[in-house]
Amino acid sequence: MSGRPKVTKIQVRQTASRLLGVAIETIIGVRQLESFEDCNYHIKINNKENDCNDQFILKILNLQSNLIKDAIECKILACQFLSQSGIQCSKPVQLTNGSYMDMVTFLSSDSAENTVHNDHIVFIVEYLQGILLRDMEPKFDNTLMYQLGQTIATMDKQLL
């Protein structure tokens, strides 16, 4: 299987509700984000207990082999480690099953009479407010490149 996963916003809401252990009616926003091959959704939850809106990114990936599962586990561990080291990055969220990722089957139709079952790896990270590098103004000035280099060097040092 290749290409972008085919899921509906209703499926995204149901999946986020189940994985986060929140009532579906507390999910007040679902917005698809740009992505090359996988699907990423910005999820907003109205958390009345804390009087705030919690925000997450639900990542839905195609399952092509066990290698992708191993790569995602490495990515999750790296993000946890970087976060514990004081580097600001999206922290993986522990799911209701106690894990940091899960396998989800989405049903979709590829024709009027054919329903397809598609397996996907899903995981959730905390949402970080920010600006994409491509949207920065001014574009790629010396200060920005220096700061980017410092951040990459710090991450490299922590991971080695």
CA distance 157 to 160: 5
Q: Is residue 52 predicted with pLDDT exceeding 70?
A: no
* pLDDT recorded at residue 1: 45
**Whole-number pLDDT of residue 126:** 95
The tens digit of pLDDT for each residue in 3-48 reads 677 889 999 999 999 999 999 999 999 999 988 878 999 999 997 7
pLDDT score, position 4: 73
User: 3-class secondary structure for the chain?
Assistant: CCCCCCCCHHHHHHHHHHHHCCCHHHEEEEEEECCCCCEEEEEEEEECCCCEEEEEEEEEEECCCHHHHHHHHHHHHHHHHHHHCCCCCCCECCCCCCCCEEEEEEEEECCCCCEEEEEEEEEEEECCCCCCHHHCCCCCCHHHHHHHHHHHHHHHHHHC
Read off the pLDDT of each residue in 100-108 and give the average, rounded to a whole number.
86
Which comes out higher in pLDDT, residue 105 or 51? 105
pTM above 0.75, yes or no: yes
The pLDDT value given to residue 50: 60
* Span(s) in the chain for CATH 3.30.200.20: 9-129
One CATH from 3.40.50.720, 3.30.200.20, 1.20.950.20, 3.30.465.10 for 9-129: 3.30.200.20
Predicted confidence (pLDDT) per residue in 60-88, tens digit? 987 765 668 888 999 999 999 999 989 99
Q: Residues 6 or more apart from 20 whose CB is under 8 A from it?
A: 45, 56, 93, 95, 96, 124
